[in-house]
Amino acid sequence: MNLLQYTQAFERLLEQGRAIPHAVPIAARPAPAPGAPLALLLSPHPDDEALTGGLPLRLLQEAGWRVLNLPVTLGSALAQRARRWAELQASCDCLGFELLPAVHQAEGRLDPQLQTRAPRHWASCVQTVTEALLQLQPKALFFPHAGDVQPTHVGTHALALAALRAAGSRVQTATVHTEFWGTLAQPNLMLELDAPQLAQLAEATACHAGEVARNPYHLNLPAQCIDAVRRGAELVGGLGQAAPAMAFAMLYRVQRWNGAEEVTLLEGGRSLPLGASVSGIL
């Protein structure tokens, strides 16, 4: 094989992937043990729980954590929200994540300008997330980083920080910044995924049939995770470092909420290969 044939093989895979049915078989999954540590996902849209869910999935499968998805929105189009809720339920079932009601169900987008455009509604959203934090006391809180470009992703970052400030010292949790539309400038965790884990995330993404019909996020996910190995080699491992022997990875920035602000964990960065303890980093 030469490099032209290698590149053409990717083209064929993408074309063949379009014929894969979106119906996803849901396997029965064991319930987490009572008192298991809990990860809470603040997902900007239905599908983000799958597109950034590598670490939550490994926490569930390898360390017995509970994973709860708190969708921040069901998208901005009111007419599509029933469909998107049903797809989200199917995706969470596929992953073994539990699902909570959406935070923002009013008309319009949850973006950074919502604070000034609709201050009462913004305050209600902050209260909803704050109450979830206080009730659930998650050991890890996942949300997009501040530079994730898409307005609802950036708004979700602001919402998470506003809720953390409202909770103050009543919540002690790791905060895990995720990436999708904009890459993390300073990730400090490169998490390896194996092919079955990545396929499960792609299957969950495919549950969002209305979304992947217009943009095949599920088919692009492997390439995204291949590229994360390239970036993580130097952004996490250090400038000039050789790429690790991983096929697929996701990048995160792991910090800790100390009751007043986020403080950095994993100084110098950490590469977490398959078989390494995932809960120890949090």
Look at residue 19 and tell me if it is in a domain.
no
Distance from C-alpha of 53 to C-alpha of 58, rounded to nearest angstrom? 9
Secondary structure class of 90 (helix, strand, coil):
helix
Give the residue from 52, 59, 34, 35 showing the smallest Cα distance to 277. 59
Look at residue 182 and tell me if it is in a domain.
yes
Look at residue 13 and tell me if it is in a domain.
no
HSE, CB side, 13 Å, CA atoms: give it for residue 100: 22
pLDDT band of 24, cuts 50, 70, 90:
low
Look at residue 23 and tell me if it is in a domain.
no
Distance from C-alpha of 170 to C-alpha of 20, rounded to nearest angstrom? 47
pLDDT band of 213, cuts 50, 70, 90:
very high
Domain interval for residue 242: 36-277
Distance from C-alpha of 154 to C-alpha of 81, rounded to nearest angstrom? 21
Is the per-residue pLDDT at 28 higher than 70?
A: no
Distance from C-alpha of 263 to C-alpha of 238, rounded to nearest angstrom? 21
- Per-residue pLDDT, 27: 63
pTM attached to this predicted model:
0.95
Look at residue 6 and tell me if it is in a domain.
no
Q: What is the pLDDT of residues 187-206, one digit of tens each?
A: 999 999 999 999 999 999 99
Q: What is the DSSP string of 127-177?
A: HHHHHHHHHH--SEEEEE-TT--SHHHHHHHHHHHHHHHHHGGG--EEEEE
Look at residue 125 and tell me if it is in a domain.
yes
CATH of the domain at 170: 3.40.50.10320
- State residue 219 phi and psi, 5-degree precision: -75, -25
Give how many domains the chain has, as a whole number. Answer: 1
Lowest mean pLDDT among 32-36, 41-45, 166-170, 206-210: 32-36
Q: What is the pLDDT of residues 137-175, one digit of tens each?
A: 999 999 999 999 999 999 999 999 999 999 999 999 999
Look at residue 25 and tell me if it is in a domain.
no
CB-based burial, 40-66: b 16+ in 10 Å, e otherwise: bbbbbbbbbbbbbbbbbbbbbbebebb
